[in-house]
Structure 1
Amino acid sequence: MIPILSRINELSRIERSIGLSDVEKGEQAALRTQYLQILRGQVFSTLLSVSVRDTLGNDVTPKKLIDKKIANAQ
């Protein structure tokens, strides 16, 4: 579980009930940006472990993905 998610949810509940101050709105925006960066990083690392095979078992992983794997390994 992503640790900042509980604070994001807490701010969301406060926003719906009584509204947020300007400071809390800034915090919420910063936390959401950070959350998206974490999520994108997780998706990226998952994609780096993927290999695509056709029905005959041949590796048909796109060259762009292979290049990213090589660049990330260095």
Structure 2
Amino acid sequence: MIPILNRINELSRIERSIGLSDTEKVEQAELRTQYLQILRGQVFSTLLSVSIMDELGNDVTPKKLIDKKNANAQ
């Protein structure tokens, strides 16, 4: 689990119940930005491990993805 997710959820509960202070609103925005960066990194890592095969078993992975895999491997 992503460590900052607990704090994001806590701030969300506070926001629904009593509202957030200005400081908490800033913290919430920063945490959400960090969370999205983490998720995008995970998706990117997953995509780098994907190969696309056609029905005949030929690798038809787009060149752009292959180039990214090679760049990341170095």
In the superposition, the TM-score normalised over structure 1's length comes to 0.99
- 1:39, distance to aligned residue in structure 2 (A): 0.3
Residue in 1 that maps onto 2:68: 68
Question: Aligned-pair RMSD on alpha carbons?
Answer: 0.3
Aligned to 1:59: 59
User: What is the aligned residue count?
Assistant: 74
* Structure 2, unpaired ranges of 5+: none
Residue ranges of structure 1 left out of the alignment (5+ in a row): none
* Residue aligning to 1:49: 49
Q: How many percent identity over aligned positions?
A: 89
Q: Which runs of 4+ in 1 moved over 3 A?
A: none
- For 2:34, the equivalent position in structure 1 comes to 34
1:17-60 superposed Cα distances (whole Å, 9 cap, x missing partner): 00000000000000000000000000000000000000000000
